[in-house]
């Protein structure tokens, strides 16, 4: 049996993507929690380039970057497909996952944690990006159709973390009035059996964010 270890931090939405995917595939693993403030040598050893989590170690081989890890898990282990089988649908899934990671996540983070002109621009960018996702998920249960797939797992940051951050900071980016389909998708996603057991406790996460909001004024 292969040895699978996963290094992460409890609050990380990027870690949770990997945990959700391993769970969907039925892969057993050893979880190693690390402190991201006082980073242990383990992180530098396995991820010298980015020095971030999650880090997956499979039979001694290290894989980093959550989107890359998800594709690796999908290729190595049997079980439900994470990416669609059809090349065109796979391309679409990669496009939307990339859109979430390169547009929505940076813009919403800046909108939440920056101030001044940077924040004003980021709020506009975040609203535009979320509106695009709203159109894409309209009339669908999940981005993957009736079942969650790669895009939904990548998007779990928006569905759970970002909505909590938005509530704590009071930005009101993610509202029922402006994004009804995205809100419906987020509710369905957070209620999914694979997703909900991996979501960190809402109050603990909100407390962490309140501390972060007091000290952080830039990203």
CB nearer to its own copies: pick between 19 and 160? 19
With CB under 8 A as the contact rule, the residue among 32, 36, 76, 168 that binds its own copies is 76
CB nearer to its own copies: pick between 54 and 200? 54
98 binds its own copies (CB under 8 A): yes
29 binds its own copies (CB under 8 A): no
CB of 31 to its own copies, least distance (A): 20
Is 171:111 a contact under the CB 8 Å cutoff?
Answer: yes
Give residues with Cβ within 8 angstroms of 201, minimum separation 6.
none
What is the DSSP-derived secondary structure letter of residue 178? Answer: T
14 binds its own copies (CB under 8 A): no
With CB under 8 A as the contact rule, the residue among 30, 33, 44, 102 that binds its own copies is 102
72 binds its own copies (CB under 8 A): yes
Q: 117-156: which residues touch its own copies (CB under 8 A)?
A: 132
Give bridge partners of residue 186 from the DSSP assignment: none
What is the DSSP-derived secondary structure letter of residue 205? Answer: H
Strands annotated E in 49-199: 55-58, 61-64
Is 140:190 a contact under the CB 8 Å cutoff?
Answer: no
CB of 16 to its own copies, least distance (A): 19
- The pair phi, psi for residue 216, each rounded to 5°, is -105, 130
Is 8:33 a contact under the CB 8 Å cutoff?
Answer: yes
Give residues with Cβ within 8 angstroms of 34, minimum separation 6.
7, 8, 9, 40, 42, 43, 53
CB of 95 to its own copies, least distance (A): 5
111 binds its own copies (CB under 8 A): no
Phi/psi class of residue 33: alpha, beta or left (left: φ > 0; alpha: ψ in -120 to 50)? Answer: beta
With CB under 8 A as the contact rule, the residue among 19, 71, 149, 152 that binds its own copies is 71
Enter the tokens of residue 201. Answer: 């406790």
Contact window for its own copies (CB under 8 A) among 10-18, 20-28, 55-63, 157-165: 55-63
CB of 61 to its own copies, least distance (A): 5
Contact window for its own copies (CB under 8 A) among 13-21, 30-38, 89-97, 209-217: 89-97
CB nearer to its own copies: pick between 102 and 147? 102
Contact window for its own copies (CB under 8 A) among 85-93, 138-146, 161-169, 185-193: 85-93
- Rg value, the chain, Cα: 17
């Amino acid at each position: 049996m292969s040895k699978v270890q996963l290094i992460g931090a409890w609050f990380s939405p990027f870690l949770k993507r990997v945990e959700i995917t391993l769970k969907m595939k039925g892969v057993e693993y050893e979880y190693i929690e690390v402190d991201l403030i006082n980073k242990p040598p383990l992180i530098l050893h396995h991820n010298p380039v980015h020095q971030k989590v999650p880090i997956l170690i499979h039979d001694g081989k290290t894989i980093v970057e959550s989107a890359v890890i998800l594709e690796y898990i999908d290729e190595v282990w049997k079980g439900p497909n994470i990416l669609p089988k059809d090349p065109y649908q796979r391309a679409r899934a990669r496009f939307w996952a990339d859109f979430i990671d390169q547009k929505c996540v940076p813009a919403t983070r800046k909108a939440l944690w920056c101030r001044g002109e940077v924040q004003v621009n980021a709020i506009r960018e975040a609203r535009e990006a979320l509106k695009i996702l709203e159109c894409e998920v309209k009339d669908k249960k999940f981005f993957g159709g009736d079942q969650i797939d790669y895009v939904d797992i990548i998007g779990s940051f928006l569905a759970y973390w970002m909505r909590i951050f938005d509530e704590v900071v009071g930005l009101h980016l993610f509202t029922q009035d402006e994004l009804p389909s995205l809100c419906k998708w987020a509710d369905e996603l957070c209620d999914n059996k694979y997703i909900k057991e991996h979501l960190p406790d809402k109050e603990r996460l909100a407390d962490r964010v309140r501390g972060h909001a007091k000290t952080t004024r830039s990203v």
